[in-house]
Structure formats: structure tokens, C-alpha cells
Structure 1
Amino acid sequence: MGTKTGTQVDVVSMQKKKRFWRRLWQQRFLYAMSVPFIIWVFVFNYLPIWGWTMAFQDFKPGLSFFEQEWVGFTHFQALFSDSYFYLVLRNTFIMAVMGLVIGFTVPIIFALLINEVRQQFFKRSVQTIAYLPHFVSWVVVAGIVIRSLSVEDGIVNTILLSLHIIDEPIQFMTKGPLFWWIVTFADLWKEMGWNSIIFLAAMTGVNQELYDAAKTDGAGRIRQMWHVTLPGIRSVIIVLLILSVGNLMSIGFEKQLLLGNPMVADYSEVLELYALNYGIGLFRFSYGTAISIFNSVIAIVLLFSANYFFKKISQESVM
């Protein structure tokens, strides 16, 4: 009996191997197409992890890897003992949370509204106009924002003065707490249309019969959006939200660098800009690497925490 069972297991195993190799051969062109992307990910995402060793060295350019002086966690100790680091961490966290809350919910609302438009020409026109800012450089966007908020002839101050909401122009770009809102809404204007694309694509997959049943029950357009459309794209929303939480601290530095100025420096400095200025800018490569490692570790912790949380409450996850 034991020999017969072992033979059956061997036969099943051989059949599985044959199916695997047959499927591999049938899809050989798809696998071949994926090879360049695998190489790209390895070269630009995994190979640079070797550079993390710099954070534990007193790195000096020109010396080989084995000639570098190892200093352990000295740079991390310097990082966590720097009071300015915590100011930068505060700015990064606040702008990241504001960007997540506003930059994630508004594209969903925009997609819901666009999905309800029945006039195709108007719908496509609005979509095209909303997508265009995504392709505009942050240099141009920053120029538009600064010009719009100018105290001399900025459109925002002009409108507020004409409506008698204010008595004198507001110097938006010199007020620290306002800087967070300026960055958040500038980013929203630039990326709202682009970020709504995936939600619009998901909405096209919602079963039309559900809308017909909702209409039969007397549901209006708003109730259909709430009870049919949103539940229909719930999986997409949760997966994207988990990924967004994982990238919470990786908000870049272009917006802050271009829109910031010395008068709002205490509100505009973020972790990546801090690494650029106090790491690479001062030739403290090991210190800058320590900042990047800290940022990456926080991102991993946030990703796994968000994935665990949503898996518990909704059975949705990305891993």
C-alpha cells in the first residue's frame, strides 16, 4: 500500500512538472517581455541597497569598500540627537498625512462625478483638462502657484480684495503654517485628474444590473454612487490606500524645494530635502544614507501595518 501511494505521488508530481513546463513554453514570449523589467527593478531598486553599508561607515570617496572605516551606528546616533531632525520629521509627517487625506479622497470624488456625466464630449473634455497638469513640470507649477499667490497682481489676492474678504493683500508665501496647505493643494491640482484614472477604470467594471436594481428600488444618483459604485470599487480603493500609506513618508522634495523660501524654512524642510542639504550637500554621504535608511524602515513598517489592519477588517491585502 505504501509503495502504491508513493508511486501515485510521484506520478502526480511528474504531471505537475509537465504542466508547468508546458505552460512556461506556451507563455515564453510573455516571460521574455518581462525580463527587461525584472532587470530594471533589480538594477535600480535592489542593487542600490548595497549602498546602505555607507551608513555604517565613515565613507570617504576614492577609497575602496574594504578601506572604509566602520563606525557602527554613530551616524544614526547623530541623527536622533539632532533637534532639527525632529522638526523635519514633523513637517514630513504633517504634509504626508494632509496629502494622503486630501490627495486620496478628492480623486475618488472627482471620478464619481465624472462617471455620472452622460454627455461624452463634455466628459472627455473635463478629463483631458484634469489630466494635463500631471505632465507639467513642478518648476512650471511652482511658478504658477507663486504668481497666483503674489501680493502684487496675484489672482487669489485680487479675488479676495474684490469680494472685500480681506482689506490688504496676504503674503501667502511668507506664512509658515500656510505653506503646508499651499503644497497640498498645489499637488492636488497637479495630480487629481491623473490619480482618478484608475478609479474610473474600476468603475467601468461595476455590474450594470446593480444600477438597474438600485433604480428599481427608487435609489437616486447619489444613493447609487454610495451603495453601488463605491462598494464595487472597494477592493481597488483599499489596495491603493495600503500602498499610499506605505509611501506616506516618501513625499519627495521638489515641491518643498521650489515653493519654499528662507522665511518658511522651518515648515518646508522634509526628510528627503534634509538628506540632500545635510547629507550630500555637506559631503556627509554616510549621514545622508542613514536618513534614507530611516525613511525606508518607516515606510516598510507603515506598509505592513496598513496591510495587517485592512486585512483584519476587510480581508483585503496586497501581500
Structure 2
Amino acid sequence: MSQNASPSKVSAKVGTFKHAMYAHKWLYIMIIPGVIYMIIFSYLPMGGLIMAFQDFSPYNGDTMLGAFVHSPFAGLSIFRKFFTGPDFIQVLTNTLSISIANLVFYFPAPIILALLLNEIKNVAFKKTAQTMVYIPHFISMVIVAALTAQLFSTTDGLVHHWLVGIFGRNHAPDIMSNPKLFVSMIVGQSMWKETGYGTIIFLAALSGVDVQLYEAAEVDGANRWQKMWHITLPAIRSTIVIMLILRVGTILNTGYEQIFLMQNSMNRGVSDVFDTYIYTKGVVNGNYSLATAAGLFKSLVSMIMVLGANKLAKMFGESGFY
């Protein structure tokens, strides 16, 4: 009986799938451009990861495919060269310094701002404030870097002149060239540019909080702080956990454009991160195998961090990312 029932179940599932495909055919048609984009720009380039295991040179063949075929296999020697190289420890330290600082200071900023915006009762003022804090997200990082250089310039920078007035000319910090202040500058830029836009997800989560919970808390005599701590934060805890998992997964990804624009000869010792290292080795020096190995290492670490953070979240009773 079970053998006779099995084909019928399969055919029923196939029929259900076909019915769902037909019922939602326009939705599937709409995702075709996105699927094609992902295949072309995300999955097909993954074939180039073979360079991490080759002594690759584009001159080993008449075509790019020929270069892949005729480049000698190097095994794990490229990774050994990468891990034992003189730059690995410095690049890893610089990357983790910026990522951990972003995790400690930048990650909570949208949550705090969303909680503050949620407490505003004046609708017109709230919408105006939201619009104002969203604007920096749409400013190009090139413009942000130019504004930073202009404000903190030691010759005519407005903020630098304020610092001179506070600390004196001999003790005023040089934000642009002091290596000790580079991480603070990068985190400050990120917070100014992305904090407002990052509140969108948390404000959406806050909109789903049951109003009756606040009303019941008021009857019990709870003040605003107590309602925020015992109702609002627990209600968006799952959203915070998911965003934290995603943030932990990008711990080795500090963003190439921002670091490259703010990098100079004075702060290069603390500003060389994996993104700039890959660019320098791969594009500038033409060492494609080493750059690919570094990129693959970043991806593997990101995957491990996401899986580990998700597992840890489930251990503490959260739903996790999947």
C-alpha cells in the first residue's frame, strides 16, 4: 500500500507546485532580473576562486580561460604565503580594530536613535527629524571624505580651529594624520552617515509593538524608562539579534571605499585592512592568486562567524537568522 501511495503523493506535490507557480506567475517573472543579476555578478565570478590554488598569471594563455587552464597548480602554498607574510598580522589587527569599534559604538547607535524617535509624540517634528537623519545616507562617501578633510584641515579647517582654541596650537589633535585617531575618525564617519538610515528596520519593528501593553504598564504605574526597558526592548530583541548576526558576519569587511579615501602616508600603518590589501596585491601589484586567497579567507571567516553567532543566539533562546 505504501508503495502504491508514494507515486500519488509525488504527483500531488507536483500538481500543487505547478498550481502555485501558475497562481503566482507574475511574482516569479518579476524576480527573473534579480536571479539573472545574482548569477552573473555573484555566482559566475566564484569560478575565479581557483586562482587561490594556482600560480596564476593572465599571460599563461591567449584568453582568460586559457590562463586558468595553463596556470600551474600551487595547492595551499598561496595561503601559506599569505598567512606567513609580513603584512598578515598587521592587516588582521587593523581590520579587527575597526570592526570591533564599529560593533561597540556604531551598532547600538541606530537602536538608541530609533528608541528616541519612537518616544516623540509630535508627528510633524518626528517626521522632520527622521528625514534629517536619513539624508547623510544618500551622500556619497567621496563627499563625506572631502567634508572630513575640509573640516579637520590644519590650515583652514573649522573644527581644527575650534580644537586649537580649546587645547592650544601645540596640543590640538591632528585628526587627519594622527594614527591613534584613525579608528575614531572612521567610526565617527560611519555613525554620522548611516545611523539615521539604520533606524528604519528598528522603527518598523517598534511599530508592531502592541499598544495595550503600554496602557497596561501605565495602569501599573510604570514610567517611560520602565516601559522602554520591559516592553519596547524585549519586543524588538529578535530584530536586534538578527542584525547583530549579520554585523558579526562582516567583521573582516570594513569597506574599501571609506578606508581608501581616508588613507594617507601618515596613517597607513593603522589603515591597511583586508579590503585595501586585496586591492593593492591584486589590482596594483598584479598578484591575483594572493589577492584571491585573501578574499577567500575573508569569506570563510564571515561564514563561520555567521554560523557561530546564529548557533549562539539559538542557545540563548532566540530564533536566530534561520
**What is the TM-score of this pair, normalised by structure 2?**
0.92
Shift of 1:13: 4.6
**Distance in structure 2 (CA, Å) of the matches to 1:16 and 1:73:** 46
1:233-252 superposed matches below 5 A: 233-252=236-255
Change (3 A) 1:155 1:222: farther
Please identify, of 183-192 and 144-153, the stretch whose mean Cα deviation from structure 2 is larger: 144-153
1:292 aligns to 2:295 (yes or no): yes
Partner of 1:35: 32
CA distance in structure 2 between the partners assigned to 1:315 and 1:6 by the alignment: 41
Q: Distance in 2 between matches of 1:296 and 1:156?
A: 39
2:88 to 67, 85, 89: 85
CA shift for structure 1 position 6: 5.0
Q: TM-score, length-normalised on structure 1?
A: 0.93
Paired residue secondary structure (1:250): coil
Give distance in 2, aligned partners of 1:183 and 1:285: 28
CA-CA distance at 1:84 after TM superposition: 1.5
1:277 aligns with 2:305: no
Alpha-carbon deviation of 1:155? 3.1
The one-character-per-residue Cα deviations of 1:272-306 (angstroms, maximum 9, x if unpaired) are: 10111122211111111111111111111111111
Native 8 Å contact 2:111 2:199 kept in 1:
yes
Q: Tell me which residue corresponds to 2:54.
A: 57
Distance in 1 (alpha carbons) for counterparts of 2:214 and 2:163: 43
Question: In structure 2, what is the Cα distance between the partners aligned to 1:78 and 1:287?
Answer: 8
Aligned pairs for 1:187-226 within 5 A = 187-226=190-229
Q: Match for 2:27: what amino acid?
A: L
Matched with 1:117 is 120
Q: What is the CA–CA distance in structure 2 between the aligned matches of 1:306 and 1:270, rounded to whole Å?
A: 23
Determine if contact 1:92/1:271 at 8 Å carries over to the other structure: yes
Aligned partners of 1:315, 1:170: CA distance in 2, in Å? 44
In structure 1, the residue matched to 2:175 is 172
Q: 3-state DSSP class of the match of 1:123?
A: helix
Secondary structure of 1:106's aligned partner: helix
C-alpha offsets along residues 161-183 of structure 1, whole Å, 9 cap, x if unaligned? Answer: 44x34554321222112100100
8 A Cα contact 2:163 2:173, kept in partner: no
Work out the CA distance in 2 between the residues paired with 1:145 and 1:314. Answer: 43
Q: Structure 1 residues 80, 6: closer, same or farther in 2, change over 3 A?
A: closer
5+ long unaligned stretches in structure 2 = none
Q: Deviations over 1:89-109 (max 9, x none)?
A: 100011011112222101000
What CA distance in whole angstroms lies between the structure 2 residues aligned with 1:219 and 1:159? 43
Partner in structure 2 of residue 100 of structure 1: 103
**CA deviations over 1:62-84 (Å, ceiling 9, x no partner):** 42022111111221111111122
Match of 1:25 among 19, 22, 26: 22
CA contact (8 A) 1:111 1:196 kept: yes
User: In the TM superposition, what whole-angstrom CA distance separates every residue of 1:194-229 from its partner, at most 9, and x where no partner exists?
Assistant: 111111111111111111111111112222111111
Contact (CA 8 Å) 2:260, 2:276: kept in 1 or not?
A: yes
Aligned-pair Cα RMSD in Å: 1.7
Q: Which residue of 1 aligns with 2:256?
A: 253
Distance 2:103 2:154 in 1: 30
The answer as to whether partners of 1:107 and 1:195 remain within 8 angstroms in 2 is yes
Structure 1 residues 13 and 76: alpha-carbon distance in aligned structure 2, compared to 1, 3 A threshold: closer
Identity rate, percent: 35
Offset, 1:241 = 0.9
> Is the 2:154–2:174 contact (alpha carbons within 8 Å) kept by the matching residues of 1?
yes
Deviation at 1:21, TM superposition (A): 2.3
- 1:253–1:273 contact (8 Å) kept in structure 2: yes
Question: Aligned pairs, how many?
Answer: 315
**Aligned counterparts of 1:285 and 1:159: Cα–Cα separation in 2:** 46
Where do 5+ consecutive residues of structure 1 fail to align? none
- Whether contact under 8 Å (2:130, 2:196) holds in the other structure is yes
Question: Aligned partners of 1:11 and 1:290: how far apart in 2?
Answer: 50
**Cα distance, 1:252 vs structure 2:** 1.5
